[in-house]
Amino acid sequence: MSRPRRVPAGALVVLTAVAAAAVTGQSPAHAAGPEQIVNGTFDNGLTAPWWGTANLTPAVSGGRLCVDVPGGTINPWDAIIGQDGVALTAGETYEFSFFGIATPAKPVRALIQLPVDPWTQYLAQTPVVNVSGDTYTYTFTSPVDLPNAQVAFQIGGSADPWRLCLDDVSLTGGAEEEPWDPETGPRVKVNQVGYLPDGPKNATLVTDATAPVDWTLRDAAGAEKAHGQTAPRGTDGSSGLTVHSIDFGAFHGNGQGFTLVADGETSHPFDIRADLYTTLGTDALKFFYPQRSGIAIDDALRPGYGRPAGHVQVAPNQGDIEVPCQPGVCDYTLNVAGGWYDAGDHGKYVVNGGISVHQLMSEFERAPELHKDGALRIPESGNGVPDLLDEVRWEQEFLLSMQVPAGEALTGMAHHKIHDAAWTGLPLLPHLDPQPRELHAPSTAATLNLAATAAQAARLFAPYDAAFAARNREAARTAWAAAVAHPAIYASAADGTGGGAYNDDNVADEFYWAAAELYLSTGEQVYQDYLEGSPLHTADIWDERGFSWGSTAQLGRLDLATVPNALPDRDRVRRSVLDGAEKYLTIQGGSAFGLTYDPANHRFDWGSNSGVLNNAIVLATAYDLSGDPRFRAGALQGLDYILGRNALGQSYVTGYGEQDSKNQHSRWYAHQLNPDLPNPPPGTLAGGPNSDIQDPIAQRLLTGCAAQFCYVDDIESWSTNELTINWNAPLAWMASFAGSIQSCAVTYQVHGQWPSGFTTQVTVANTGAGAIDGWALRWDLPAGQVVTQGWSANISQKGSSVTAGAYPWNRVIRPGASVTFGFTGRSASAANPAPDRFRLNGTTCG
């Protein structure tokens, strides 16, 4: 969850009171009030009282106001035509219209706003004006009485020169606002990507029917494949809709283009395939490369997304190689180039980067065999290190750079964030950002995020780069000591100019998480003592909202449960994860949309989709720990909601589903504002419904919304439609889990043992419907057991963790078939119990 932190009221990008636009030949009829625009028809051949910026020379040509716009401008506001002194009345609904013709077609930012700083905008729309000419009409309601509003057409930002002509510019009161009628798609709500053949298959029907209705599953040719009846669920609290549930999980076929038909309605098409989530898992990870700061994005690696390096101290950038602190914070500069841009702006935040990089490392740690060198097509591909770890390192290097140097006050602490001194507008590519950059004060929360991620990096990078691992281990210890010495230095809630505050004045959870990671990486008693003394170690930490950057104890608990360690009460820790998963299953059972996310009074938070996914991760982890198929099914239903089984029928992931989000709030994925720029890359998650609707476009369109309807796919809706690194990280984790699920069973037989050793045979059976092409089986041996020799598999051991991989001749396990391998081992005791869990390609086997 990202807390409210985008653009305070009055900043340049703010949009208020905007209704749907119509591009027509004439304005809709209404009882118009008096005309507020002076000389909007230009029939007198004069330009006054219209004005232009110094780089423009407006002139009347053919009864239109025309201007030649120079190329080479950067921002929309670098070239403006405007008129001042326009009167607005609070509560009045206005119609604003104009005729425009552009050669060639270009976006024009049409604004009605306060004429002085902070330039509050009461109407802001950006139509692409074409070469044939159209009339553009909008309605809005003024929230203020203002005698001197400004009408402005911002037309800068083009590399090439072009020409714009305007006519019939009009602003009149007495208009009727067009009601917001979101596109919700078919009433049968499905996962628009699809379902796994042996996984759960659930859908939701919106209907007024009180009795069960028939449903039919049809293939792409229209043939019936399954049928049944719905289960009425009454009124759903989070949507306000009357709904039924559909369960078609008994169907195990494969194919593309299936549809569900119920109550006279046909769903969006979807697939049923075993490889359903493979591409999504890759795309969700590929999202991070174009988010990089401090490096040029190679268009050959991400076609359509190439751009120059941002914030490498090349004009107009003013960072990030020698960044000073805010006045009064410090007297040194730091090189903090690199890392990921946090969201749709150019800020970089340690606490949001911390949870993001942790979840990517945890995805790798869960199933390293799934992550290969070259899989993500990034500049480091081919270096012998899995691409996921290379991407993680780009951010982790930045986090390390934020640590206060030795010899300075607060040595070892981490600066909370670095971003622009003031907010910037949209669109704005990173390399064109002209704002000064500032380091913000260190905080205990940021310092503990560094301690946690550096400790985790130390153990994961050890096989690939011992020096980098050691550097992280030292940084983690230093950060921990600094946090213990300064346990209550908090980020200010008021520090929200130019970037989000990310304030957090309860860091008990960060201490717990950091202690967990340091203990797992070092085994040292000091960290075990802290864990065992923390009230969070035994508390119920499984909040209905899910964990987040401000609530991180769950991260420590999950790793203590899954990463091999000698914690005396580890069995209780593992059971606590199962208890949390049971809690989420209970919540899910009460939701007709399969939600485990259920805040009080159905008030969805900023970034609610990340809450959905993080709760699903708890369920997935419970499945990994127990093999209980209920947890697997519950986790997968979280993806169903994200990918279309929701009240809006919206897939919140760009490029996935029939009705997908594609206008997330971003300064460079800004196609909605500038057709020369791209939409977000495939695999980008939108934040999702937010009951607090803090941004003005959401306030205009969504006031009074039921929770699931508090979303609009508009680039200006920063409170419902933002993209962030800490939302894509759990999407990647869950897609990896779903994409790696195998139906399998393992038999582990000790064939002989002696005082110092034993011999074992292991059989891996494919119990699913599809072939397993390539396999790696992982398990943990009891302390003191070591594999000494193996056969029919490539066996390696690291600590207590053993991995057996396929040879070319036995890499494929066909449905109903099995492979067998064996090994001998050395044992410190006569007891040789069977391992309690086996994971095949990241999936727990029976």
Residues with a known catalytic role: 345, 665, 713, 722
What pairing do the DSSP bridges indicate for beta strands 194-195 and 270-272? Answer: parallel
Q: In whole angstroms, give the CA distance from residue 47 to residue 54.
A: 15
- Containing 560, the helix (H) or strand (E) segment is helix 553-562
Pairing of strands 812-813, 188-189: unpaired
Q: Is the distance from CB of 239 to CB of 707 less than 8 angstroms?
A: yes
- Candidates 795, 772, 320, 355; CA nearest to 558 is 355
**Residue 74 contacts residue 316 (beta carbons within 8 Å):** yes
Token readout for 641 is 């909601």
The tokens describing 792, both together, are: 């029919």
Instruction: Give Cβ neighbours of residue 832 (< 8 Å, ≥ 6 apart).
Output: 750, 753, 758, 760, 782, 785, 825
Tokens of 209: 């029917």
Per the omega criterion (within 30 degrees of 0), is the bond before 118 cis? yes
CA pair distance 106, 84, nearest whole angstrom: 24
Burial class (CB in 10 A: 0-12, 13-18, 19+), 833: exposed
Q: 796: which residues sit within 8 A by CB, 6+ positions away?
A: 802, 803, 805
CB of 268 within 8 A of CB of 659? yes
Residue 203 CA to residue 435 CA, distance in Å, equals 48
In eight-state DSSP terms, residue 39 is: S
- Helix%, strand%, coil% for the chain, nearest 5: 25, 25, 50
Nearest to 373 by CA among 390, 396, 395: 390
Alpha-carbon gap, residue 492 to 500, rounded angstroms: 10
Report how far residue 188's alpha carbon sits from residue 207's, in angstroms, rounded to the nearest whole number.
Answer: 9
The first and second tokens of residue 172, run together, are 């009149």
Q: Which of 344, 334, 282, 331 is nearest to 313 (CA)?
A: 334
What six digits make up the tokens of 800? 């207590």
Distance CA 108, CA 80 (A): 10
Residue spans of alpha helices (H) in 658-743: 696-702, 725-739
Residues forming beta bridges with residue 129, ordered by sequence position: 106
Any idea what the Cα angle at residue 193 is, between residues 270 and 610, rounded to 5°?
145
**Amino acid, single-letter form, for residue 376:** L
CA-wise closest residue to 270 among 203, 183, 184, 187 = 203
Residue 776 structure tokens: 């790696």
DSSP at 303: T
Q: CA–CA separation, 722 vs 479, rounded Å?
A: 31
Q: Which helix (H) or strand (E) holds 588?
A: helix 570-589
Q: What's the DSSP call for residue 722?
A: B
Radius of gyration over alpha carbons of the chain, in Å? 29
Q: Taking each helix axis from N to C terminus, what angle separates 629-642 and 608-626, rounded to the nearest 10 degrees?
A: 160
3-state secondary structure of 762: strand
Size of the chain, expressed as the number of residues it contains: 846
Element at 476 (helix H, strand E): helix 466-485
Residue with tokens 């369960």: 247
- Taking alpha carbons only, the member of 784, 824, 789 closest to residue 800 is 784
